[in-house]
């Protein structure tokens, strides 16, 4: 039995904690479709995320090959671009919501100092189970060279993936945006569940553990809305409109046909479930919207390809944010109030298109909603390591 966990999910009181941290970026597909169809709309270019893979090994078998690393990058590009060969197996009722996320991945070709690189760092460690080992200050050893691991490359520019041994039954973990210190921001995967060759073993041997954890890294929750070790009986949701509620995580299973647990068919083939790798096949349009809202917000540096803030030791803070009126009519003023003295305001639609940007030199600002089509939007503020998002609905 193998579990792929988000870091958040190992904490006590996970159910309430997870939903308090939520960015609440809903996926209102009909309204989003109207925005896409509006005059002047242009889809964003495909995002390419630079990846550095830190192979932290104790025994030679854990020092995975470059071929295995490349196989994982290939899996990510297939899964996130809807090029996976098993997409035809998606149940007919879910074919209409499967999505090409237009997110791609490439090993970094240049390190933070500007030197050529293959995007792979190899470090031998003296620690067993380095994937979960912590020091007396509760720091993850795998993320620090001085503690037997490998230092992160600028996590506001690169996606850091650490490969290290986990206990049996755990495939990996990831932090949600703003949850971890920047020095530990990224994902961690067991070498037995990374890529689709070499040390990868069934039934989680096709690289989907990494696909799953990057989903968490980009702010996606499990479809049942809770942690990895319990069935929540429809108590929570993943806050994405086109993924039906479900009660079970389908760990170690690969069902066939329609399965139900909350009165609607379960999307057990979604990457944010725990089904076997061979069973996973899709992200949805709503999940794509949520990931793009994250890339245009707290993980904006991955798109801009600049910045390096490894030295900071505090997680990003989510600050209070008030937006009113909400809903607001086209042509009316919208007022924004927060707790930071200066910030940059962004307004994105659910497909990730930037409709408005404004720099504010005070804690309050306003802007006129002209020439912006009705529909749901994500209002984002960013200021000196702090950020917040708020849903804004524009009506006629």
Active-site positions? 213
Contact present, 14 and 8 (Cβ < 8 Å): yes
Return the H-helix or E-strand segment holding 120. strand 120-124
Which residues make Cβ contacts (< 8 Å) with residue 210, sequence separation at least 6? 72, 75, 76, 161, 172, 187, 189, 193, 194, 195
Positive or negative CA dihedral for 199, 70, 289, 338?
positive
C-alpha to C-alpha distances, 7 to 40, 204, 254, 261, 305, nearest whole angstrom: 41, 19, 25, 26, 25
Mapping DSSP to helix (H, G, I), strand (E, B) and coil, where does residue 106 land?
A: strand
Joined together, the tokens standing for residue 328 give 């607001």
Which helix (H) or strand (E) element contains residue 212?
A: helix 208-217
Cα–Cα distance measured from residue 200 to residue 190, given in angstroms and rounded to the nearest whole number:
9
CA separation for the pair 130, 114 (Å, rounded): 29
Asked if 246 and 225 count as a contact pair (C-beta separation under 8 A), the reply is no
CA–CA separation, 165 and 170 (whole Å): 9
Which tokens hold the place of 368? 């006129």
In whole angstroms, how large is the CA radius of gyration of the chain?
21
Q: Is 289 helix (H, G, I), strand (E, B) or coil?
A: helix
Q: How many other C-beta atoms are found inside a 10 Å radius of the C-beta of residue 81?
A: 16
**8 Å CB contact between 360 and 379:** no
Paired tokens of 314: 């505090």
Copy the structure tokens of residue 232.
Answer: 């929540």
């Amino acid at each position: 039995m193998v579990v792929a966990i988000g870091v958040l999910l190992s904490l006590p009181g996970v159910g309430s904690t997870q939903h308090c941290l939520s960015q609440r970026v809903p996926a209102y597909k009909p309204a989003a479709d109207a925005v896409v169809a509006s005059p002047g709309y242009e889809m964003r270019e495909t995002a390419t995320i630079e990846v550095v893979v830190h192979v932290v090994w104790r025994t030679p078998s854990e020092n995975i090959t470059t071929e295995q690393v490349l196989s994982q990058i290939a899996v990510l590009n297939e899964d996130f671009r809807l090029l996976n060969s098993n997409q035809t197996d998606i149940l007919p009722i879910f074919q209409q919501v499967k999505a090409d996320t237009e997110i791609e991945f490439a090993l970094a070709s240049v390190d933070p100092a500007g030197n050529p690189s293959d995007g792979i760092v190899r470090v031998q460690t003296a620690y067993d189970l380095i994937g979960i080992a912590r020091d007396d200050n509760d720091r993850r050893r795998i993320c620090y060279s001085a503690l037997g691991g490998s230092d992160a490359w600028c996590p506001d520019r690169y996606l850091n993936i650490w490969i290290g041994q986990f206990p049996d039954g755990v495939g990996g973990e990831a932090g949600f945006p703003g949850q971890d210190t920047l020095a530990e921001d990224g994902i961690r995967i067991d070498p037995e569940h990374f890529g689709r060759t070499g040390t990868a073993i069934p039934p989680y041997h096709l690289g989907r553990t990494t696909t799953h954890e990057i989903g968490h890294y980009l702010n996606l929750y499990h479809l049942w809305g809770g942690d990895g070790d319990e069935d929540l009986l429809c108590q929570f949701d993943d806050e994405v409109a086109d993924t039906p509620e479900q009660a079970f995580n389908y760990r170690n299973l690969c069902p066939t046909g329609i399965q139900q647990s909350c009165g609607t068919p379960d999307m057990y083939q979604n990457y944010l479930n725990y089904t076997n790798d061979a069973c996973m096949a899709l992200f949805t349009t709503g999940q794509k919207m949520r990931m793009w809202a994250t890339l245009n917000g707290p993980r904006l540096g991955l798109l801009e390809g600049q910045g390096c803030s490894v030295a900071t030791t505090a997680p990003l803070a989510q600050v209070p944010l008030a937006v009113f009126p909400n809903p607001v009519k086209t042509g009316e003023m919208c007022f924004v109030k927060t707790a930071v003295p200066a910030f940059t305001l962004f307004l994105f639609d659910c497909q990730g298109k930037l409709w408005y940007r404004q720099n504010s030199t005070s804690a309050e600002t306003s802007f006129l909603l002209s020439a912006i089509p009705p529909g749901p939007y994500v209002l984002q503020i960013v200021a000196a390591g702090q950020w917040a998002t708020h849903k804004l609905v524009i009506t006629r």
